[in-house]
Chains A and B, each alone.
Chain A
Amino acid sequence: MFREKTTEPLWWGLFSAGGVIAAFLVPIHVIIAGFAVPLNWISDPGILYRSWLVRIYLFVLISLPLYHWAHRFYFAVNDMQLGIPRKPLALLCYGGAVVGTLVAGWVLARL
């Protein structure tokens, strides 16, 4: 119990930061990557991802909302009372976000 209580501000801070990033930045990226580029409204040969600044931006864009998901999904599934034990669920959610962060960093560094 004690450890959970001391790490909660960290997870909440990441949740909050991820919520801000998701709210302000994600919709336009869905429009660009989900509609404009696939439907050829905009051609994207992938050149801009060579820039380190763009990659750092994308690292923030992709990683922080994962913590936002972890926090909301963990509590939503708990609230749904589906009988899923809390500890493995927390590990899956917050652990998943950490793994996602590492994978995002690895992928973006390799581009």
Chain B
Amino acid sequence: MSAVQPDKSKLYHRQVPATWWLKKSTYFLFMLRELSSLFIALFLVLYLVQLYQLTDGPQAYVAFAHKLSSPGWLLFHLVVLLFALYHSFTWFQSTAVILVLRIGDRVIPREIVTALNIGAWGLISLVILVLFLALKG
């Protein structure tokens, strides 16, 4: 494979400052979208740490959940929620670009595909909430 690679020393590289993504709002939003994945991952790791408390019994788990009611953790979860919603919305938008739905010969507009995704998201969220309430004991 390396034989077909061009000689790197002969390639032209335009110098881009490390702050390029702060120069334009669309670049900045792109970077926020990419970084949303970090906040989602941090939330899931924290959730796993909370679940791990169950190995010390239900009291440890409840006590850990109670600690998360401090202003700092609430702010953390608010930031996570905003990033998670931004990820969902941008994901549904890009799904609409990739997933071209048709009725007969007519292509369904992207806005409608995005709206269908958002509708499915709302329904799934409601089902998870109802199942959680039904199973939590």
Residues of A within 8 A of B (CB): 1-2, 5, 19-20, 22-35, 37-40, 42-49, 51, 54, 58, 61-62, 65-66, 68-69, 71-73, 75-76, 79-82, 100, 103-104, 107-108, 110-111
Contact B20 A81 (CB under 8 A): yes
Find out whether the CB atom of A46 lies under 8 angstroms from the CB atom of B54: yes
> Which residues of chain A have C-beta atoms less than 8 A from B136's C-beta?
42-45, 47-48
A37 to B43, CA, bound (A): 15
* Complex CA–CA separation, A39 to B73 (angstroms): 11
Please tell me if the beta carbons of A30 and B77 are within 8 angstroms of each other in the complex: yes
**Interface contact B40-A103, CB-CB below 8 Å:** no
Q: How far is the CA of A58 from the CA of B102 in the complex (A)?
A: 35
Total A-B contacts with CB atoms under 8 angstroms apart:
167
Whether A47 touches B137, Cβ cut-off 8 Å, given contacts A27-B85, A30-B81, is yes
B38 within 8 A of A: yes
> Given A48-B137, A107-B51, list of 8 further CB < 8 A pairs?
A23-B91, A29-B47, A42-B136, A44-B62, A45-B62, A75-B34, A80-B21, A111-B55
Contact A107 B31 (CB under 8 A): no
List CB contacts (< 8 Å) of B3-41 with chain A.
5, 16-18, 20-21, 31, 34-35, 37-38, 40-41
Nearest-neighbor residue (CB-CB) of B121 within chain A: A24
Expressed in whole angstroms, the Cα–Cα distance for A22 and B121 within the complex equals: 11
Contact A68 B20 (CB under 8 A): no
A44 touches B16 (CB 8 A): no
With A37-B65, A45-B137 as given contacts, are A27 and B51 in contact (CB-CB < 8 Å)?
no
